[in-house]
């Protein structure tokens, strides 16, 4: 019995060590994920097992051999130390997540506290089993297409109000396995209890159905949501898409290709808007060319999987195709907001993939992106309802609530109010004087004007507008945009003056994308001859 306890304790020591410092080569790389995930997410259970082993040995009879007794004692001490460290890391993740969201360079967010959870609780977190609320309504296996795997589930509460926001979740599994019942459940249960409608899907799997079947099915499911979710109480205009691993890849790609009809099913008609309000990829495959600058030794495994089972075509002869399915390559100025969550100890998708995606997004897209990097955290950490998962769920709730805020309608009367006149549009000249927009254009050249004040014409107090204006200015300066201060004033006094910025040497589309990121209806395009009001949504001239 003493030897058995010693062997089990040694295994627990090595398991916890794998969670803290996973190997990346040879046999250690093979066991890094399955062993490291279990040890990293179940440290309290490991402590309980070690205590049970010691109790069993005490009941059986403590060994009289000195070296064996000392060995068991040392192993037990190391097991306790390692797993207590893992418990501490899981709880410390709460602070990491809160700080990451609150210090985002653009539009920082405060996340709820544990006491604010609608479904999570300390005892549910302790159990870690992600069972759903008893009063949750599940509509299972709704067909969204003709294939056997074209099935989705809709989750909601009986009290969910009409017009609720929608979280659309796509499961992972290397594009080759997985099911809608298995992943993302702790987060989705919290969303549902908070009044959201959740949609989870199955999609066709490789190798039987090679790429692009997976993204085509995800797009088809989004089309189903746009056409049908209102009958389940959801708002088709307030959809946030999420997924883990390969599902994170599909979620990110879906969000970044709203204007690309390549993967839209031809038999889905009547959908005009294929966009989503935001994307939340968790430990997602955000780069698919296997570039080792991003993957740091793991890219060859990704390419082997894609070449032999998913895409089923060699990368060398189809590089353009591989780049087309890479979210990293698809980032553009009109991208919606993102929340990216990744673990530093991920041995399936290197954390540098997420870092590179976030860096490029901030360089290209004006929309906010939030990045949460979790120390000592393995792939697929959020399968269990741990303190770490509850923390990232709160971040997801804060992000999704922000991204899916209801938007008021842009009425004809509101469009008329943007015209010059009635709006008095002035720009600060090179001499520091406030001059009319046309006079400024003749002196400084053509420009566009935008503001961050009063999002979607919902009037904020001056403090909030000043904060938003400061963040917008910082973002424009970081991008090297040449600008001057501008003000749009209502001479009648019925609406407060809105301060903004005149952008020089930038396209109208760039100004539109920035204005969209700051929740504006319209921008001004100023030439030496005229002032045009353009819709942020369509680019069309208003009035």
**Of the listed 117, 150, 218, 346, which one is catalytic?**
346
Asked if residue 123 has pLDDT above 70, the reply is: no
* pLDDT attached to residue 129: 67
Which residues, at least 6 apart from 102, have a Cβ–Cβ distance to it below 8 Å? 108, 109, 110, 111
Terminal-to-terminal C-alpha distance of the chain: 86
Helix (H) or strand (E) holding 2: helix 2-20
Higher pLDDT, 441 or 494: 441
**Of the listed 15, 93, 242, 245, which one is catalytic?**
245
* pLDDT attached to residue 421: 84
**Percent of the chain's residues with pLDDT above 90:** 78
Q: What is the 3-state secondary structure (H, E, C) of 144-171?
A: CCCCCCCEEEEEEECCCCCCEEEEEEEC
Q: Tell me how far the alpha carbon of residue 99 is from its chain's centroid.
A: 16
Q: Rounded to whole angstroms, how far apart are CA atoms 236 and 242?
A: 16
- Known catalytic membership, residue 171: no
Asked if residue 495 has pLDDT above 90, the reply is: no
pLDDT digits (tens, 9 = 90+) for 300-348: 999 999 999 999 999 999 999 999 999 999 999 999 999 999 999 999 9
Q: Rounded to whole angstroms, how far apart are CA atoms 37 and 43?
A: 10
Q: Are 197 and 161 in contact (CB under 8 A)?
A: no
* pLDDT attached to residue 396: 98
* pLDDT attached to residue 368: 96
Higher pLDDT, 159 or 341: 341
Task: Identify which of 262, 258, 290 has the alpha carbon closest to the alpha carbon of residue 276.
Answer: 258
* pLDDT attached to residue 431: 87
Q: Rounded to whole angstroms, how far apart are CA atoms 343 and 54?
A: 33
Q: Burial of 162 by CB count in 10 Å (0-12 exposed, 13-18 middle, 19+ buried)?
A: exposed
Mean of the pLDDT values across residues 115-123? Answer: 76
Copy the structure tokens of residue 114.
């544990």
pLDDT digits (tens, 9 = 90+) for 201-243: 999 999 999 999 999 999 999 999 999 999 999 999 999 999 9
Mean pLDDT of the chain: 93
Structure confidence at residue 30 as a pLDDT band (50, 70, 90): confident
Copy the structure tokens of residue 287.
């780069």
In DSSP terms, 448 is beta-bridged to 503, 525
Q: Are 157 and 135 in contact (CB under 8 A)?
A: yes
* pLDDT attached to residue 57: 84
* pLDDT attached to residue 84: 96
* pLDDT attached to residue 133: 77
Q: 370-390 b/e with 16+ CB inside 10 Å = b?
A: bbbbbebbbbbbbbbbbbbbb
Mean of the pLDDT values across residues 253-266? Answer: 95
* pLDDT attached to residue 381: 94
pLDDT digits (tens, 9 = 90+) for 268-286: 999 999 999 999 999 999 9
Higher pLDDT, 28 or 478: 478
* pLDDT attached to residue 27: 66
**Parallel, antiparallel, or unpaired for β 434-436 and 482-489?**
unpaired
- Known catalytic membership, residue 513: no
**Of the listed 150, 189, 379, 513, which one is catalytic?**
379
Q: Burial of 137 by CB count in 10 Å (0-12 exposed, 13-18 middle, 19+ buried)?
A: middle
* pLDDT attached to residue 532: 95
Tracing tokens 């269990």 back to the chain, one arrives at: 384
Q: Are 339 and 396 in contact (CB under 8 A)?
A: yes
Domain-by-domain residue ranges, the chain? 2-97, 137-403, 412-535
Structure confidence at residue 367 as a pLDDT band (50, 70, 90): very high
Reading phi first (left if > 0) and then psi (alpha if -120 to 50, else beta), residue 63 is in beta
Higher pLDDT, 451 or 130: 451
Q: Are 41 and 345 in contact (CB under 8 A)?
A: no
- For the CA atoms of the chain, what is the radius of gyration? 27
pLDDT digits (tens, 9 = 90+) for 168-208: 999 999 999 999 988 999 999 999 999 999 999 999 999 99
Q: Is the peptide bond before 212 cis (omega within 30 degrees of 0)?
A: yes
* pLDDT attached to residue 120: 72
pLDDT digits (tens, 9 = 90+) for 75-114: 999 999 999 999 999 999 999 999 999 999 999 999 988 8
Q: Are 243 and 170 in contact (CB under 8 A)?
A: yes
CATH for the 137-403 domain, from 3.40.50.1360, 3.40.1410.10, 3.30.465.10, 3.40.50.1820: 3.40.50.1820
Q: Rounded to whole angstroms, how far apart are CA atoms 289 and 303?
A: 7
* pLDDT attached to residue 280: 98
* pLDDT attached to residue 422: 85
Asked if residue 135 has pLDDT above 90, the reply is: no
- Known catalytic membership, residue 346: yes
Copy the structure tokens of residue 134.
């008893």
For the chain, what is the largest distance between any 2 Cα atoms, rounded to a whole number of angstroms?
A: 98
Asked if residue 154 has pLDDT above 80, the reply is: yes
Q: 24-40 b/e with 16+ CB inside 10 Å = b?
A: eeeebeebbbebbbbbb
Which residues, at least 6 apart from 338, have a Cβ–Cβ distance to it below 8 Å? 252, 255, 278, 279, 280, 281, 361, 367, 368, 369, 370
Three-class DSSP category at 299: helix
Structure confidence at residue 420 as a pLDDT band (50, 70, 90): confident
Q: Is the peptide bond before 371 cis (omega within 30 degrees of 0)?
A: no
Mean of the pLDDT values across residues 141-152? Answer: 97
- Whether the CA torsion 508, 510, 512, 515 is positive or negative: it is negative
Mean of the pLDDT values across residues 498-503? Answer: 96
Q: Apex CA 519: angle with CA 513 and CA 523, to 5°?
A: 55
């Amino acid at each position: 019995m003493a030897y058995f306890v010693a062997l089990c304790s040694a295994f627990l020591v090595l398991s916890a060590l794998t969670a803290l410092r996973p190997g990346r080569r040879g046999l250690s790389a093979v066991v890094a994920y399955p062993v490291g995930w279990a040890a990293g997410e179940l440290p309290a259970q490991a402590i309980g097992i070690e205590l049970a082993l010691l109790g069993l040995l005490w009941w059986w009879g403590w060994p009289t051999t000195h070296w064996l007794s000392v060995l068991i004692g040392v192993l037990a001490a190391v097991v306790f130390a390692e797993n207590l460290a893992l418990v501490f890391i899981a709880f410390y993740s709460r602070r990491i997540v809160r700080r990451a969201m609150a210090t985002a360079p653009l539009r920082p967010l405060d996340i709820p506290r544990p006491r604010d959870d609608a479904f999570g609780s300390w005892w549910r977190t302790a159990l870690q089993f992600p069972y759903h609320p008893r009063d949750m309504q599940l509509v299972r296996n709704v067909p969204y297409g003709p294939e056997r795997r074209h099935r989705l589930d809709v989750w909601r509460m009986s009290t969910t109000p009409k017009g609720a926001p929608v979280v659309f979740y796509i499961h992972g599994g290397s594009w080759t396995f997985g099911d809608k019942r298995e992943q993302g459940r702790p987060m989705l249960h919290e969303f549902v209890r908070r009044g959201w409608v959740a949609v989870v899907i199955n999609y066709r799997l490789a190798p039987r159905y090679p790429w692009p079947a997976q993204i085509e099915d995800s797009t088809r499911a989004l089309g189903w949501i746009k056409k049908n979710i209102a009958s389940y109480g959801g708002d088709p205009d307030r959809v946030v898409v999420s997924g883990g691993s390969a599902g994170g890849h599909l979620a990110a790609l879906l969000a970044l290709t709203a204007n690309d009809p390549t993967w839209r099913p031809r038999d889905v008609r009547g959908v005009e808007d294929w966009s989503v309000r935001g994307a939340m990829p968790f430990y997602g495959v955000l780069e698919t060319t296997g570039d080792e600058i991003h993957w740091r030794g793991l890219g060859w495994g990704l390419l082997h999987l894609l070449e032999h089972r998913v895409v089923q075509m060699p990368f060398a002869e189809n590089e353009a195709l591989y780049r087309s399915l890479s979210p990293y390559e698809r980032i553009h100025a009109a991208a919606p907001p993102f929340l990216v969550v990744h673990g530093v100890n991920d041995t399936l998708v290197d954390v540098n993939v997420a870092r590179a995606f976030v860096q490029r997004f901030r360089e290209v897209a004006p929309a906010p992106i939030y990045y949460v990097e979790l120390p000592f955290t393995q792939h697929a950490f959020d399968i269990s309802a741990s303190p770490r998962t509850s923390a990232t769920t709160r971040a997801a709730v804060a992000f999704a609530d922000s991204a899916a805020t209801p938007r008021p309608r842009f009425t004809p009367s509101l469009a008329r109010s943007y015209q010059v006149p009635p709006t008095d549009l002035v720009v600060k000249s090179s001499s520091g004087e406030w001059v009319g927009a046309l006079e400024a254009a003749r002196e400084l050249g053509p420009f566009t004007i935008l503001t961050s004040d009063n999002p979607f014409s919902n009037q904020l107090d001056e403090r909030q507008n000043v904060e938003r204006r400061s963040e917008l200015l910082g973002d424009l300066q970081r991008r090297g945009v040449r600008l001057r201060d501008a003000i749009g004033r209502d001479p009648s006094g019925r609406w407060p003056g809105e301060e903004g910025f005149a952008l020089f040497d930038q396209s109208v589309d760039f100004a539109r994308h920035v204005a969209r990121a700051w929740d504006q209806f319209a921008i001004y395009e100023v030439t030496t001859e005229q002032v045009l009001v353009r819709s942020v949504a369509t680019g069309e001239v208003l009035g």
